[in-house]
Amino acid sequence: MRSSDLSFSANDISILFNKKLKLGLSIEDIFSLESKTEGWIAGLQLSAMSMQGREDISGFIQEFKGDNRYIMDYLMEEVLKIQPDDIKEFLLKTSIMGQMSAPLCNHVLTRNDSQLILEVLEKDNMFVIPLDNERNWYRYHHLFADLLKQRLQIQHKEVIPLLHNKACEWFELNNMNELAIEHSLEIKNYEKCILLLGKVAEDMWQNGLHAAILKYGDLLPDELIKSNPEFCLYYSWILISAGQIQKAVPFLASAEQKIKHLIQDSDLSDDNTQYHKKLLGKISVAFAYLNSHEEHSEKAFDYCKTAMENLSEDDPLWFSWAWFSYGVSFFTIGDLNEGGKAFDKALEYGKKSGNIYLISAIVIRMAENEQQLGHYKSAYKKCTDLLVYIKKRGYTQIAKAEWTFAALYLIMSSTESMWANTEKAFDHIRIAYQISRDAKDIFMRVMILMMYSTLLRMTGDNGAEKRMTELDEVMKQNEIPPFLVSMYITWKSHYLLQQNQIEEASQLFSDYGIGSDTEKSHLYEMCYVSFTRLLLAQGKLEEAGELISELYATVSEAQRIERMIELKLISVDFCKKTGDHKNAVKNLMDAMEIASDENLLSFFVYSYVDIDDLYEEVFKIHATTKTNIPNKFINNIKSALEKRNNSTKKNADALLSTRELDTLKLIALDLPNQEIADKLFISLNTVKTHLKNIYLKLEVDNRAKAVAKAKELGVL
């Protein structure tokens, strides 16, 4: 029997700690314990001893490691003391290695019998775990490694830098540079680290190892990073994605300045000059990416041009990135057709490069471009085709684990949402949320939290508030690019207006400088669409009507389908408020016609505008006269509305307790509180408590609204 046969699973740990020991561990705590102890039963028993009488058990588990005194005492007594001095020295000095092989150990310890020792240690169950079937690579059990490193620090502190240097040397000689970097960082040998990073940063970046690049960059001194243009480039790229644009600028500027200076150096060979021109092209791609975030369109296109001048088809990977930068720049200014053409070119060369991260980045951007044009079917197909491509290449598990692929599931979720397939939308957004939780990409985190909270709100799930609070915190704590700010204002204003918080919505727009008389750039176009809803809520009908007309002329010319539908629905509200019933119905039918090709049901089923009272009339007109709305789309709307109403009623029934429902029925009869108390045989205070709960759950503030909302939900 081996250690794996005797290891506890998460389920075993749950039974031991919760059912037997009554410690009340959360699911997160159980999985954390499983990871840290690797199911080692003695370690679990000792950790349980350590938890007795503690108030913050979760905090203890997070800090739990091999220097815990019970585990240390046990291991010292039962394991280390009985080892010969030679083996004890081997254990202590190899503890610095996250993974080890016999040749590595021989090099670091200046010996030649490491393979034999490793095999004996494994055979004797000495907390040594093989990492491959050939028994070439091993590691120590995490808790055992913690103890060994602590004992090494106490007994042989002076040799630790030497051990790390020798390990770094071996890994570098064997082209395992990332492991060499880890050892150089352990002893703060930053000069060695930056040299190694200069060699591997591009490969790491191409393979989507962005979190590692960010980690290294954050650990190294800024001036040292600036001495290496190659690492500057890739570190800056990740900083831009993480929303840390101001932090990225000095590094990119330093890299650009150094490379331009080297290109002008007449003493350089032709090969070196060509290398540096190519690097300048790559830096220009990054600068174009940066300026597209900052709404500096002229600068973005200038850098695109420089990139094209210094990159060529001979390097399809970077030539693809150059076209990609053009696509992003066109996307930023709202020229989606030219953006689409640039992305097509980028994909052509991206496929020649075979780089999965690049191809995924392009396809995701292409899908976003299609969505902006209202081409949801095309966007969805691009995503599903990409998943098939990823599967064929053997990257399926990576696509569900690496945060660089979160956008793929976000787009699929938003599309399913548009088609009113909320269950599938939830499936995809949960994957996106899970793999992006620790992501440094601010764009992804903000977009996913907006989509997730919106879905939860649409379905009446109480979890919406939690995701909304999380999003607000992300916005406060980070430097947010303008286009994300625009989306946040739109999302937040929708929520505030839906809650009838008109003053708060007005303040939001004011805080961000959004008003009728301000310049209406493409970047903030969606904000102004939402701003028209505020004007209508404030009763500023003339001002709202003018803005609706101005915006619709712009979006219809560019055929931005989503905005066209939104503005048509807002026009429904405008017409209802001005008493123009005929045009209210016409605008609703126009919106349906625009949405029908792509089956965009969500605009109607979960509309931000009150249009439910017009459906029967529209359905009657469609049934009796010829319209441009396909029968299939009308039937889809009817089916989706029925599904929504049934789901809403079910949620509402579950929301109110039996006694609250009884109270609500008597409120509907307009009975006073004392009479309700008498009929239900409860106290007056209890009636008041039920009322407060009803108001809270139905999100209303008086009796009349509670009754109206209950009728709307089908509860009464």
- Mean pLDDT across the stretch 309-319? 90
Place of tokens 């209508």: 536
Give residue-wise pLDDT tens across range 325-380: 899 888 888 788 898 999 999 999 998 988 888 898 899 999 988 888 888 999 99
Average pLDDT value for residue range 122-138: 83
Hey, which of 387-396, 509-518, 581-590 has the most confident mean pLDDT?
Answer: 581-590
Q: How confident is the model at residue 34 (pLDDT cuts 50, 70, 90)?
A: confident
* β partners of residue 128: 140
For residue 254, what are its two tokens? Answer: 């330093």
Query: CA-to-CA distance for 712 and 350, rounded, in angstroms?
Result: 52
pLDDT band at 19 (very low <50, low <70, confident <90, very high): confident
In single-letter form, the type of residue at position 453 comes to S
- Max mean pLDDT among 61-75, 210-224, 426-440 falls in 210-224
User: How many whole angstroms separate alpha carbon 76 and alpha carbon 383?
Assistant: 55
What pLDDT sits at residue 329?
87
The predicted-structure confidence for 494-523, as pLDDT tens digits, reads as follows 888 887 889 999 999 999 889 888 778 777
Element (H, E) at 524: none
More confident residue, 651 or 505: 505
Q: Which of 389-403, 634-648, 678-692 bottoms out in mean pLDDT, i.e. has the lowest? A: 389-403
Quick one: pLDDT at residue 66? Answer: 62
- Rounded Cα distance between 362 and 355, Å, is 11
DSSP string, 190-258: HHHHHHHHHHHHHHHHHTT-HHHHHHHHHHS-HHHHHT-HHHHHHHHHHHHHTT-HHHHHHHHHHHHHH
Q: What is the CA radius of gyration of the chain?
A: 31
Q: Is the pLDDT of residue 464 over 70?
A: yes
76: confidence class by pLDDT, cuts 50, 70, 90? low
Mean pLDDT of the chain: 86
For 389, the token pair is 């491509």
Positive or negative torsion for Cα 561, 566, 569, 570: negative
Contact 30, 14 (CB under 8 A): yes
What are the two backbone dihedrals, phi and then psi, of residue 128, each rounded to the nearest 5 degrees?
-105, 125
Model confidence pLDDT, tens digit, residues 137-192: 999 888 788 888 988 988 889 999 999 999 999 999 998 988 999 999 888 999 99
Cα 174 to chain centroid distance, Å, stands at 36
**pLDDT class of 633 with cuts at 50, 70, 90:** very high
Instruction: List all residues 6 or more positions away from 90 whose beta carbon is below 8 Å from its beta carbon.
Output: 105, 109, 114, 117
Q: What is the mean pLDDT of residues 241-258?
A: 86
Render 641-706 in DSSP notation, one character per residue. Answer: HHHHHHHHHHHHHHHS-HHHHHHHHHHHTT--HHHHHHHHT--HHHHHHHHHHHHHHHT-SSHHHH
- The per-residue DSSP string of 59-102 comes to HHHHH--TT-HHHHHHHHHHTGGGS-HHHHHHHHHHTT-SSEEH
Between 48 and 214, the more confident residue is: 214
Distances in Å between the Cα of 304 and the Cα atoms of 232, 238, 309, 324 are: 19, 19, 9, 9
Fill in the amino acid letter for 70. Y
| Unique residue bearing structure tokens 């048509």 | 568
Residue reference for tokens 């009488």: 53
Cα separation, 596 vs 578, whole angstroms: 27
Query: Using CA atoms, how far apart are residues 526 and 551, in angstroms rounded to an integer?
Result: 10
CA distance 515 to 531: 8
End-to-end CA distance of the chain: 65
| Interval 521-546: pLDDT, tens | 777 888 999 999 999 999 999 999 99
Task: Categorize the per-residue pLDDT at 681 as very low, low, confident or very high, splitting at 50, 70 and 90.
Answer: confident
DSSP string, 478-495: S---HHHHHHHHHHHHHH
Report the pLDDT value the prediction gives residue 635, as an integer from 0 to 100. Answer: 94
Band of pLDDT at residue 206, cut at 50, 70 and 90? confident
Task: Please report which confidence band the pLDDT of residue 97 belongs to, taking 50, 70 and 90 as the band edges.
Answer: very high
In Å, what is the CA distance from 502 to each residue of 186, 208, 323, 489, 520? 55, 44, 44, 14, 22
Contacts with 219 (C-beta within 8 Å, 6 or more apart), sequence order:
185
Residue 647 is predicted with a pLDDT of: 66
Tokens for 678, please give them. Answer: 């008498």
Angstrom distance (rounded) from CA 620 to CA 494: 30
Q: Per mean pLDDT, which range of 466-475, 500-509, 693-702 is the poorest? A: 693-702
Name residue 269's amino acid: S
Give dist(CA 370, CA 415) in Å, integer: 11
Instruction: Give the pLDDT confidence score for residue 714 in this predicted structure.
Output: 67
Q: Which of 295, 370, 282 is nearest to 324 (CA)?
A: 282
In a 13 Å sphere around the CA of 239, the CA atoms on its Cβ side amount to 21
* Crossing angle between the packed helical segments 684-698 and 673-680, to the nearest 10 degrees: 110
397 pLDDT higher than 80? no
Residue with the two structure tokens 């085709």: 385
Q: Taking 60 as the threshold, does the pLDDT of residue 653 lie above it?
A: no
Greater pLDDT, 406 or 320: 320
- Is-contact 232 226, C-beta < 8 A? yes
Within 8 A by CB and 6+ apart from 503, the residues are none
User: What average pLDDT does the segment 438-456 reach?
Assistant: 83
* CA triple 287-292-298, angle to 5 deg: 85
Q: What is the pLDDT, as a whole number, of residue 75?
A: 59
